[in-house]
């Protein structure tokens, strides 16, 4: 099958009732909302870039937003970059009085495909090497070790006539581990205690699928996306606007 290098720009707009998070959807390498992916083939595009936004609350208005870039370099190795500003984690009743300013986080992500057999592939990687401009730190940018996300993901890609089903399952740490959402206003006076309480490493399991449909086939087909990211279930659509642009 002939593959063409192409530029993919993905524009994202999401209305979310989820809690504030710095893992803004569709800003990590891969085609899923929050979980990693793998493939038994080289990507058909040179690189992908785009921006994403989550609306956590309309009144008072509370959003998380970010931009991203990723590409497959060679031999199954891919690299990505994201810049994220999360939403205010304060309870909705406290948003109007909250003085919290979310820090900007710069994240680096890398993964390597290590095994391929027919329609099955296995990849390992590290996401969320995050540097942020925390107001509580004297450094311009500080590494947030609690967000480091080591993972392994097993993928299967099946042709089902006019449809194609990709499934993903794996485990990871950091942002891919099970965690209770923080809905309380951040307490900057107890930063040291909070960091020591979250210093331990936990592991979580994630699952996901992409069902490629024959709708809008001339533009690449519309995809139905579903996943469990270790904390909750996410469902979405990938709608082709042109062969190179998608609305997720």
The tens digit of pLDDT for each residue in 78-106 reads: 999 999 988 888 888 888 888 888 888 99
Q: Report whether 127 contacts 149 (CB < 8 A).
A: yes
- What's the pLDDT at 195? 47
User: Which residues are CB-neighbours of 156 under 8 A, at least 6 positions away?
Assistant: 119, 120, 166, 167
The tens digit of pLDDT for each residue in 190-213 reads: 444 444 444 456 889 999 999 999
Q: Is the dihedral of CA 41, 107, 126, 53 positive or negative?
A: negative
pTM: 0.79
- What's the pLDDT at 21? 44
Q: Report whether 206 contacts 35 (CB < 8 A).
A: yes
Q: Over 80: is that where the pLDDT of 219 sits?
A: yes
- What's the pLDDT at 201? 66
Question: Is the bond into 60 cis (omega within 30 degrees of 0)?
Answer: yes
The tens digit of pLDDT for each residue in 141-172 reads: 888 888 899 999 999 999 999 999 999 999 99
Q: Report whether 89 contacts 75 (CB < 8 A).
A: no
The tens digit of pLDDT for each residue in 29-62 reads: 888 998 999 999 988 888 999 988 888 888 888 8
In this prediction, what percent of the chain has a pLDDT beyond 70? 79
Q: Over 60: is that where the pLDDT of 182 sits?
A: no
Q: Over 80: is that where the pLDDT of 179 sits?
A: no
User: Which residues are CB-neighbours of 234 under 8 A, at least 6 positions away?
Assistant: 25, 33, 34, 225, 226, 227, 228
Calculate mean pLDDT across residues 61-83.
92
Structural Rg of the chain based on CA atoms: 18
Q: Over 50: is that where the pLDDT of 220 sits?
A: yes
**How many residues are given for the chain?**
248
DSSP 24: -
């Amino acid at each position: 099958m002939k593959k063409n290098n192409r530029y993919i720009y993905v524009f994202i707009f999401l209305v979310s009732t989820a809690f504030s998070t710095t893992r803004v959807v569709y800003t990590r390498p891969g085609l899923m909302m929050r979980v990693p992916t793998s493939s038994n083939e080289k990507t058909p595009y040179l690189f992908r870039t785009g921006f994403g936004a989550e609306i956590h609350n309309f009144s008072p208005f509370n959003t998380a937003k970010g931009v991203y870039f990723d590409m497959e370099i060679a031999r199954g190795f891919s690299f990505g970059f994201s810049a994220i500003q999360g939403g205010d984690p304060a309870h909705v009743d406290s948003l109007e009085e909250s003085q919290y300013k979310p820090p900007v986080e710069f994240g680096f992500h890398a993964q390597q495909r290590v095994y391929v057999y027919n329609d099955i592939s296995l990849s390992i990687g590290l996401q969320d090497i995050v540097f942020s401009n925390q107001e509580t730190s004297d450094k311009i940018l500080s590494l947030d070790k609690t967000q480091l996300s080591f993972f392994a993901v097993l993928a299967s890609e099946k042709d089902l006539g006019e449809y194609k089903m990709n499934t993903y399952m794996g485990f990871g740490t950091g942002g891919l581990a099970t965690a209770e959402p923080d809905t309380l206003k951040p307490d900057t006076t107890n930063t040291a205690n909070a960091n020591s309480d979250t210093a331990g490493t936990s592991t979580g399991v994630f699952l996901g699928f992409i069902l490629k449909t024959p709708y809008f086939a001339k533009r690449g087909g519309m995809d139905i996306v579903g996943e469990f990211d270790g904390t909750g279930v996410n469902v979405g659509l990938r709608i082709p606007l042109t062969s190179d642009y998608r609305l997720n």
